[in-house]
């Protein structure tokens, strides 16, 4: 049996992928350079604006947002003040701002791409059948693998980090958007049809509002997955708290690694609770 298997020629998968990547990087290098330079400039600008805000003012702003988002409860606001002050106290404030920039860009791009794809899936069974296996592939592929095309297209830096984060974080928004629209009661859709609503009117005034809670749950997962890629993205030069964790790992500095890791946990909890609170507030 083993001899039969050995006689089967090896499929040229690696060579095919290499050829495709060489063709893409050669044919679209001006586009990739434009995205790299433009994205780097935009993210450096946003990071600069965030760093320019005095830490005390920034912490109070987040606390106020948390206070009103949770219907004037003090729990999340107090945690935000204590947690963000801890990050500032440990000298990781600039790294936090870089991390926020990466998460913002990756999340916004994933949401902008994901919601329309989810709507398309909800309206077409053929599109759903085609896109679902792609989403399965994206979710099961290890995050490290996404760094390979990211570096091939954009080189080293924050832009390839965002690119890899978008691919990794995109599926939840697509899936939850599709699920939310498909779960809208058929009676309400039929009622909208009976009143002569167009497809766009039905989508914007009936389906999306009723599916908003489910879609927001997908967005919440997308944001958290973007944050989870911070450490992996630091391996290709993305700045932020992930770089501090990676540096501590490479130097076996347990204390520094714990400090940076706890900072990521604090930021993740704040982001998670804020998005959940906003969802409850609007639902």
Counting the structural domains of the chain, the total is 1
Tell me the Ramachandran region of residue 11: left when phi exceeds 0, alpha when psi lies from -120 to 50, beta otherwise. Answer: beta
Q: Which of 40, 46, 38 is nearest to 156 (CA)?
A: 40
Question: How confident is the model over 95-121, as pLDDT tens digits?
Answer: 999 999 999 999 999 999 999 999 999
Terminus-to-terminus CA distance in the chain, angstroms? Answer: 60
Q: What are phi and psi of 70, to 5 degrees?
A: -95, 25
Q: Decide if 163 is inside a domain.
A: yes
Share of the chain above pLDDT 90, in %: 29
The stretch 21-37 carries a mean pLDDT of: 82
Q: Which of 106, 99, 109, 112 is nearest to 47 (CA)?
A: 99
Q: Decide if 76 is inside a domain.
A: no
Q: Decide if 147 is inside a domain.
A: yes
Q: What is the pTM of this model?
A: 0.86
Q: Decide if 58 is inside a domain.
A: no
Q: How confident is the model at residue 177 (pLDDT cuts 50, 70, 90)?
A: very high
Is residue 281 over pLDDT 60?
no
Question: How confident is the model over 200-243, as pLDDT tens digits?
Answer: 888 888 888 888 889 998 999 999 888 888 878 888 778 888 88
Q: What is the DSSP code (8-state) at residue 70?
A: T
The confidence score (pLDDT) of residue 178 equals 92
Question: How confident is the model over 151-172, as pLDDT tens digits?
Answer: 888 778 888 888 888 888 899 9
Q: Which of 52, 101, 56 is nearest to 226 (CA)?
A: 101
Question: How confident is the model over 125-146, as pLDDT tens digits?
Answer: 899 999 999 998 888 887 778 7
CA distances from 141 to 90, 132, 137, 188, 249 (A): 35, 14, 6, 39, 24
Other CB atoms within a 10 A radius of the CB of residue 173 amount to: 28
Q: Decide if 218 is inside a domain.
A: yes
Q: Decide if 79 is inside a domain.
A: no
Least confident piece of the model among 40-44, 83-87, 227-231: 227-231
Mean pLDDT of the chain: 85
**Token digits for 229?**
């890629």
Q: Decide if 18 is inside a domain.
A: yes
Return the CATH number at 25. 1.10.3720.10
Q: What are phi and psi of 247, to 5 degrees?
A: -65, -40
More confident: 139 or 49:
49
**Rounded to an integer, what distance in angstroms lies between the CA atom of residue 145 and that of residue 128?**
25
Q: Decide if 35 is inside a domain.
A: yes
Domain span holding position 130: 12-52+90-282
């Amino acid at each position: 049996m083993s001899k039969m298997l050995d006689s089967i020629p090896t499929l040229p998968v690696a060579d095919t992928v290499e050829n495709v990547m060489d063709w893409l990087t050669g044919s679209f290098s001006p586009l990739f350079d434009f995205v790299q330079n433009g994205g780097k400039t935009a993210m450096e600008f946003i990071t600069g604006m965030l760093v320019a805000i005095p830490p005390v003012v920034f912490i109070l702003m987040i606390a106020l947002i948390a206070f009103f988002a949770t219907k004037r409860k003090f729990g999340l606001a107090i945690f935000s003040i204590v947690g963000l002050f801890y990050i500032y106290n440990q000298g990781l404030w600039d790294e936090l701002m870089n991390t926020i920039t990466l998460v913002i860009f990756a999340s916004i791009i994933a949401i902008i791409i994901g919601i329309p794809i989810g709507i398309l899936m909800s309206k077409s069974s053929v599109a759903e059948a085609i896109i679902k296996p792609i989403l399965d592939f994206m979710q099961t592929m290890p995050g490290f693998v996404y760094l390979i095309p990211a570096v091939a297209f954009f080189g080293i830096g924050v832009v390839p980090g965002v690119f890899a984060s978008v691919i990794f974080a995109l599926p939840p928004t697509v899936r939850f958007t599709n699920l939310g629209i498909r779960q809208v009661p058929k009676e309400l859709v039929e009622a909208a049809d009976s009143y002569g609503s167009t497809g766009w009117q039905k989508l914007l005034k009936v389906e999306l509002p009723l599916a908003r809670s489910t879609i927001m749950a997908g967005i919440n997962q997308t944001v958290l997955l973007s944050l989870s890629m911070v450490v992996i993205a630091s391996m290709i030069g993305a700045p932020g708290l992930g770089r501090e964790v990676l540096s501590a790992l490479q130097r076996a500095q347990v204390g520094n690694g714990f400090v940076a890791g706890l900072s990521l946990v604090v930021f993740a909890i704040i982001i998670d609770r804020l998005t959940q609170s906003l969802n409850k507030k609007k639902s």
